[in-house]
Structure 1
Amino acid sequence: MRRSGDGRTGTPLTRLRRRFGLERSELRRRVDRVQRAIGLCLLVLLLGTAPPLAAVTAAWSFDAGARAEHAERADRRQVVATVTSTGGIGSAGDRYVHETVQASWAAPDGKRRAGTLPSWRNAKVGAHRTIWVDRAGVPTVRPRPHSRTVTDAAYAGAATVLACGVPVALGYALVRRRCDRHRYELWEADWARMDADAGHNPRS
């Protein structure tokens, strides 16, 4: 037999509305209607502020990332480094010296540079590897990829939505807690009144 009035019945949207006190019901009291109105106002506030702010922060992050991309691509160049010795140069206590090689390369200004690079598998003297260097010829990491700019912008937008949603959710939680406390007081008063009526009922 199917039970009616069970909180587990209905569509997920109906259950969600019922859980947050947004479902219409003739049995609701004034405190329930107040909670519902405040919840709707907070929801409208969130929908009115979070998307625009998220769009602004995402656009700001994307522009900053795009500028960083342009600056790094303009400042960095790829050159071919040639291994001059393996094992690196370090003190006897250098535990990572075997993970480096000594190499030389031509800087963007044409001058020869030499230094230590991370080693790779089967690295031998005379082996070549393409590396990134800055204007001074110092090894550096590859320029910022565009995918990172897009990802950072998405993270910035999501973080903004979260930052807007957390205070709203906390505010509604406080409102609901206060309303629940008031409902409990009303229920206790109703039970006390029913007990009093039952005590004065001559048929009881």
Structure 2
Amino acid sequence: MRRSGIRRGGTPLVRLRRRLGLERNELRRRVDRVQRLIALGLLLVLLGVAPPLAALAANWSYRAGTGAEHAERANRHQVVATVTSTGGFGSSSDRYIHETVQATWPGPNGKPRVGTLPTWNDVKVGAHRTIWIDAGGNPTVHPRPHSRTVTDAVYAGAAAVLGCAVPVLFSYALVRHRCDRHRDEMWEADWARLDSAGHNPRS
């Protein structure tokens, strides 16, 4: 036998509207309508504030990341390092001790620089590896990739939305708590009137 929509509580949209208190119901009390209006007002505030702030935060993060990309690409370049000895270890002050190799590479002024580099598999004296160096000729990581800039911008926008949503949700939680207390007081007052009239079904 086919189950009716009444038994299921209506369509998902109807159930959602009922849960959010958006459907018309003559049995709703004034406190219910006030809570619903405040909830709608807070939602409108969130929708009005969050998108612009998210756009500003994402744009600021993107511009800062793009600037960092250009600066790092201008101050870092690749050179070929040549291994001069193997079997070294990193400083004990490092968080982790890594095996290293001694190597030499051309500095920014053309003079050779000597230092340590992390080792790699099957490394031998005379092996070559392309490395990144900064303006001072010291080994460094590759310049900031554009994908990181995009990711940071997305995170910044999401953080802005979350930062707007938290106080709004907190405010609604306070309103809901206050309205629930008022509803409980009204409920107890109704039971008290029934008790005084001798029509309390709980007795």
Q: Answer yes or no: same fold by TM over 0.5.
A: yes
The match for 1:35 is: 35
The match for 1:49 is: 49
Alpha-carbon distance in structure 2 between the residues aligned to 1:56 and 1:117: 41
CA drift of 1:10 comes to: 3.6
Counterparts of 1:1-204 in structure 2, within 5 Å, are 4=6, 9-88=9-88, 96=97, 99-198=99-198
AA of the residue aligned to 1:69 = E
CA drift of 1:81 comes to: 0.7
State the TM-score, normalizing by the size of structure 1: 0.87
CA drift of 1:17 comes to: 3.4
CA drift of 1:82 comes to: 0.8
Alpha-carbon distance in structure 2 between the residues aligned to 1:16 and 1:174: 22
Alpha-carbon distance in structure 2 between the residues aligned to 1:148 and 1:63: 12
Partners of 2:89 and 2:97 within 8 A in 1: no
CA drift of 1:25 comes to: 1.3
State the TM-score, normalizing by the size of structure 2: 0.88
Partners of 1:46 and 1:165 within 8 A in 2: yes
AA of the residue aligned to 1:161 = V
RMSD (Å), alpha carbons: 2.4
Alpha-carbon distance in structure 1 between the residues aligned to 2:130 and 2:153: 30
Alpha-carbon distance in structure 1 between the residues aligned to 2:144 and 2:197: 78
In structure 2, the CA distance between the partners of 1:199 and 1:30, relative to structure 1 (3 Å rule), is closer
Partners of 1:77 and 1:108 within 8 A in 2: no
Where structure 1 has 5 or more consecutive residues not aligned to the other structure, the ranges are none
Partners of 2:5 and 2:11 within 8 A in 1: no
Give the SS at the match of 1:88: strand
Give the SS at the match of 1:73: helix
In structure 2, the CA distance between the partners of 1:118 and 1:187, relative to structure 1 (3 Å rule), is same
Alpha-carbon distance in structure 1 between the residues aligned to 2:48 and 2:33: 22
AA of the residue aligned to 2:190 = D
Alpha-carbon distance in structure 1 between the residues aligned to 2:131 and 2:49: 46
Give the SS at the match of 1:108: coil
AA of the residue aligned to 1:106 = P
CA drift of 1:121 comes to: 1.1
Where structure 2 has 5 or more consecutive residues not aligned to the other structure, the ranges are none
Alpha-carbon distance in structure 2 between the residues aligned to 1:57 and 1:34: 34
CA deviation map 1:144-178 (0-9, x unaligned):
00000000000000000000000000000100110
Alpha-carbon distance in structure 2 between the residues aligned to 1:38 and 1:60: 32
Give % identity: 69
